[in-house]
Structure 1
């Protein structure tokens, strides 16, 4: 029986014990501390990986074990869920490669593997680890992007809730910073909702706004123009001197917009007409 065949059988038959040894050596070498559940998942994955490695030693097989890919993506998910950096995962790959290199050198001596076969197996291990690392980072970035998008959508909802006050009147309290994204959100998401509320007046309250640039000021003017075309009169409240200055610098004609110090003052004025 060939040396490669003997090594193949050894890896398959002892994959579980070797997996436990690999994980323990990596944790010691890298001085990592991980939860027991994460350690058990790693042992199970390397058990599968070593069995896979044993099966491909005698083949020119370029496949990657599906369990390794699944494990890599789960690592990314765990990092996002626990709000940890991806660098914690990336830093484990170096010690892991070292541990596998030591294991392979020991086994190549034990089974009298040729240098050519040893180099081939080592290259395949590194290739698989490269794919695993790539999958982990890519999954982490995808998950983070989805979380950011979800958080942005939630922030947008909090930023611009439409609050009905009485028949025909609602308040749009604006909070935080109006940037290009939020101005676009107002136009594409909030304005259509306002148009369905059968309003006569909308009070746009700027008292919670801490910054607005000239580009965004023009977006806000566009929103007001659209609402006026829908037959809704826009009244502003809470305009600070800085926001007013930005509007003037942007060339916006504030004389067309009725403005009050606060929402209560605006409502008192409107109620004299209702």
Structure 2
């Protein structure tokens, strides 16, 4: 019975000695990827042919930590440069098939797997490690994409919280659309930061454009108003809609402690300006 180590050495030696044949086999197995090899290299500085050897060597040498780190780095690189998962999957499956072709050739020429036990052990090693690479790659890719999405959303939400100065110490915050748990955190951060930086003494928050606000968001909004008050700023709420008021009343929420309520934004501005 041959050891996995000796089988690994035979496979790596074959790839090193048959470089062009190895690359040709890979490219013929991945038709869609082969036409994009140069584009991927230029766009993301990702050399697929070199990385294919790297993956195979990590798999055959059972270098699990390096395989995991490689998969994580690849996931980030592909996500960062918006390369598709379909191309990656096709490429890795081409590597898998090419590796098995090499095993078949070496079986015929050098009796690589001497018995069934050798073959099944090799099959478990190759397929499990390549699947492990793919799983780690997909997780890394998804995490990076999710992080980028949240950062982009945070930027957009910051832009949708316009605190408008109307005099030296009075500013207006018109809120429009739905406010969910993510957006209320952005509102809290923006409001408290702007009060600290701009020394706002009166903040008029107009809610006439709010489409929806769930109870947990209303609870958080009440805490935002408490924070505004703690920073020495007076909060004035305008444009409270009947449906929103009913929801607050039934939930037992009152804003009187930390904010005044007025009818419309126009009336409030006339009073303070």
TM, length-normalised to structure 1: 0.75
Matched residue pairs, number? 259
Note the C-alpha offset of 1:214: 2.3
Name 2:47's counterpart in structure 1.
41
Query: Secondary structure of 1:105's match?
Result: helix
CA–CA separation in structure 2 for the residues paired with 1:228 and 1:8: 69
Aligned to 2:270: 268
Pairing partner for 1:26 from 25, 29, 38: 29
Residue 102 of structure 2 corresponds to which residue in structure 1?
Answer: 103
Preserved contact between residue 11 and residue 103 of structure 2 (Cα < 8 Å)? no
Match of 2:13 in 1: 9
**Pairing of 1:61-140 with structure 2 (within 5 A):** 61-63=61-63, 66=66, 70=70, 73-79=73-79, 81-82=81-82, 84=84, 86=85, 89-90=88-89, 93-94=92-93, 96-113=95-112, 114-115=114-115, 116-140=117-141
Structure 1: gaps spanning 5 or more residues = none
In 1, distance between residues paired with 2:186 and 2:236?
Answer: 20
Offset at 1:136?
A: 0.6
Q: Deviations over 1:41-70 (max 9, x none)?
A: 2222224455x37xx97xxx4225958953
Structure 2 length-normalised TM: 0.75
Q: C-alpha displacement at 1:170, in angstroms?
A: 0.7
Q: CA RMSD in A?
A: 3.5
Is it true that 1:259 corresponds to 2:262 in the alignment?
yes
- The runs of at least 4 aligned residues of structure 1 exceeding 6 Å deviation read none
Q: Does the 8 Å contact 1:104/1:118 carry over to 2?
A: no
Shift of 1:122: 3.7
Q: Any unmatched runs of 5+ in structure 2?
A: none
